[in-house]
Amino acid sequence: MQVPAPVEYERATSVDDAIAKLERYGPEARLIAGGHSLIPMMKLRLARPEVLIDINDLTDLAYIKREGDELRIGAMARHRDLLESHVAFEYYPIFRDAEEVIADPVVRNRGTIGGSICQADPSEDLSAAFAAVKADMVIQSSSGERIVPNPEFHRGPYTTAVGDGEMLTEVRVAIRPGCGSAYEKVERRVGDWAVTAVGACIQLDGDTITEVGIGLAAVSAQHFRSAGAEDILRGGPATEEQFAAAAAAAAEGCNPSSDQRGPADYKRHLARVLTLRALRRATARARGQEA
């Protein structure tokens, strides 16, 4: 019977209160927001926190807004908020692409953006999307706030830069003129984790790619990213030949392992196909040819 081990429960009233509680209870305490990863792991007793600190009352972190030249996403924004956000879609359609294929409506109604990326599952879609758009992560502790650029946020499977007594509060993405983005995913069935997924973000000046980000999920790409593919494209023309070369580099540079979602060779094949598709769509969007 799947029931969690005994656990204490506290409800945080503010970010400061949540951090104070994290400090008080130490490393065996866990924040819980949507709970869509943590609760199943607790029921299987793979996770056994001693204290749960519920942060669902921190609704002031549930925003998605433009501030200056940045898109700011509060850690407590739900997947559904991001899916339906006009401002996010205006600058980064990649988020809607990704959210449409994350889990199912029930999970999206409750699961949070902060929870997803702090869970840092190697197959997590938003981690790849944020890698593609080179988001910065805002982490708060009792000593203040620090900003961690995306590549440094992920330290490996299920591990992030968020330390003891800290919580992620916000994701920031620079708004870039002439930018287009897209997300492509292959899953075994709707709602499943990715077999492979690729996000791409392209910034164009005329036909020249001035900046590019390529994020990959589920294929053990370092920091969810293909720096090699990005290097091929940056500063060059936005052509099919360049995209094909970048897609090949993305496939070459990742390190998928075989599991019941598929053999490694298929995942690598998908990394190439999906990188190409994501680049094409991101470019079309940058050129205003596709919504």
Partner 1 sequence: MTVTQEPETNPIGFGRMQRKEDARFVRGQGNYIDDIVLPGMLHGAILRSPYAHARIKSIDTTAAEAHPKVKAVITGALLETLGLAWIPSLSADVVAVLATDKVRFQGQEVAFVVAEDRYSARDALELIDVDYEPLPAVVDAKRSLDPDAPIIRDDIEGKTNNHIFDWDAGNKEETDAAFAKADVVVTEEMLYPRVHPAPMETCGQISDMNKVTGKLTIWCTTQAPHAHRTIYALVAGLPEHQIRVVSPDIGGGFGNKVGIYPGYVLTVVGSIVTGKPVKWVEDRSENLMSTSFARDYHMHGEIAATSEGKILALRTKTLADHGAFNNTAQPTKYPAGFFHIFTGSYDLEAAYCEVTGVYTNKAPGGVAYACSFRVTEASYLVERLVDCLADELKMDPAELRLKNFIQPEQFPYTCKTGWEYDSGDYPRAMRLAMDIAGYEQLRAEQVEKRARGELMGIGISFFTETVGAGPRKHMDILGLGMADGAEVRVHPTGKAVVRLSVQTQGQGHETTFAQIVAQELGIPPLDIDVVHGDTDNTPFGLGTYGSRSTPVSGAAVAIATRRVRDKARLIAATMLEVSPDDLEWEKGKWFVKGDPSTAKTIQEIALAAHGSMELPEGVEGHLDGSCVYDPPNLTYPFGAYICVVDIDPETLQVKVRRFIAVDDCGPRINPMIVEGQVHGGLADGVGMALMEVIAFDEDGNCLGGSFMDYLLPTSMECPSWELGETVTPSPHHPLGVKGVGESATVGSPAAIVNAVLDAIGVRHADMPLTSAQVWRATEGRPFRTDLAIE
Residue 90: Cβ within 10 Å count: 11
Report, in Å, the least distance between residue 246 CB and partner 1: 16
Alpha helices in 61-185 (DSSP H): 79-84, 86-91, 93-100, 105-110, 113-119, 125-132, 150-153
Taking contact as CB under 8 A, which single stretch among the options 62-70, 85-93, 188-196, 230-238 is the one that binds partner 1?
188-196
Give the 3-state secondary structure of residue 264.
helix
For residues 3 and 291, which CB has a smaller minimum distance to partner 1 in the complex? 3
Give the 3-state secondary structure of residue 238.
coil
Report, in Å, the least distance between residue 190 CB and partner 1: 4
Q: Is 46 in the site for partner 1 (CB under 8 A)?
A: no
Report, in Å, the least distance between residue 260 CB and partner 1: 5
For residues 37 and 203, which CB has a smaller minimum distance to partner 1 in the complex? 37
Does residue 220 come out as left (phi exceeding 0), alpha (psi in the -120 to 50 range) or beta?
left
Q: Is 195 in the site for partner 1 (CB under 8 A)?
A: yes
Please state, in angstroms and rounded to a whole number, the distance separating the CA atoms of residues 216 and 122.
Answer: 10
- In the set 161, 244, 245, 266, which binds partner 1 (CB under 8 A)? 266
Q: Is 188 in the site for partner 1 (CB under 8 A)?
A: yes
Tokens of 166: 């800290």
Buried b (16+ CB within 10 A) or exposed e, 211-241: bbbbbbbbbbbbbbbbebbbebbeebebeee
Site string for partner 1, 118-137 (x = CB under 8 A): --------------------
Tokens of 248: 């090949």
Number of residues that bind partner 1 (CB under 8 A): 26
Nearest to 163 by CA among 178, 176, 148: 148
Q: Is 182 in the site for partner 1 (CB under 8 A)?
A: no
Taking contact as CB under 8 A, which single stretch among the options 126-134, 148-156, 269-277, 283-291 is the one that binds partner 1?
269-277
Determine contact, residues 54/25, Cβ cutoff 8 Å.
Answer: no
Tokens of 25: 């209870």
Q: Is 191 in the site for partner 1 (CB under 8 A)?
A: yes
Please state, in angstroms and rounded to a whole number, the distance separating the CA atoms of residues 250 and 155.
Answer: 20
Report, in Å, the least distance between residue 123 CB and partner 1: 11
Taking contact as CB under 8 A, which single stretch among the options 54-62, 164-172, 191-199, 220-228 is the one that binds partner 1?
191-199
Site string for partner 1, 3-32 (x = CB under 8 A): x-xx--------------------------
Hey, which residues between 242 and 261 contact partner 1 (CB under 8 A)?
Answer: 258-261
Residue 45: Cβ within 10 Å count: 11
Binding site for partner 1 (CB under 8 A): 1-3, 5-6, 44-45, 186, 188-193, 195, 258-263, 266, 269-270, 273-274
